[in-house]
Amino acid sequence: METFTFTTIALNILPALITGAVAYYFFQTHIKNEDNRRNFLLLQEGKKQTLPMCLQAYERIVLFLERINPSQLLIRVKPLGENKDAYSSLLLSTIEQEYEHNLSQQIYISEECWNVIVSSKNTTSYIIKEITSDSSITNSQELREAILKKMIAATPPSSVAISFVKSEVQKLL
């Protein structure tokens, strides 16, 4: 009689345990899905707020790259005298000032994109230094002409960087 009672009780409790386990599983799954949904909605809301700032940072970086493009730089920064070294220093310091003014934009830009921008700045500076070291160039006007000729013959580093920035922005949108 005792085994019959134990077996009967076990058979009556078994469906309740199975139902309880299934309910527990579904509640846990539901809670996890709700947490994921809330996190997704928070992420979406955060993106709505940060996307304009990121786009503004990319705009400022494009403006920076345009400003250090040698053809634009030479128009904006006129030589103060005939000394080519002084003019070269003026051009390089202008590039550095522009760079320092836009340093904070790296917060909103991918690391790879920032590396491309820094590389563009460094390459532009290198080109100016390289042309300045040419002994056949004797004054600032000849330096300007030599830099322009070099930029006409090759794609400016800032143009390559702008193309990269544009592709980054397309990924955001």
Domain contains 3: no
Provide the pLDDT confidence category of residue 2 given band limits of 50, 70 and 90.
low
| Residue 37, in any domain of the structure | no
Average pLDDT, the chain: 90
Threshold 0.75, pTM exceeds: no
Residue 22 lies in a domain: no
Residue 38 falls inside a structural domain:
no
Residue 12 lies in a domain: no
- Would residue 57 count as lying in a domain? yes
Domain tally, the chain: 1
DSSP 85-153: HHHHHHHHHHHHHHHHHTGGGGGTS-HHHHHHHHHHHHHHHHHHHHHHT-TT--SHHHHHHHHHHHHHH
pLDDT by residue (tens digit) across 63-73?
999 999 998 99
CA atoms within 13 A on the CB side of 140: 15
Q: Which domain holds residue 94?
A: 51-172
Per-residue pLDDT tens over the stretch 11-62: 788 888 899 899 999 999 999 999 999 988 888 776 777 788 889 999 999 9
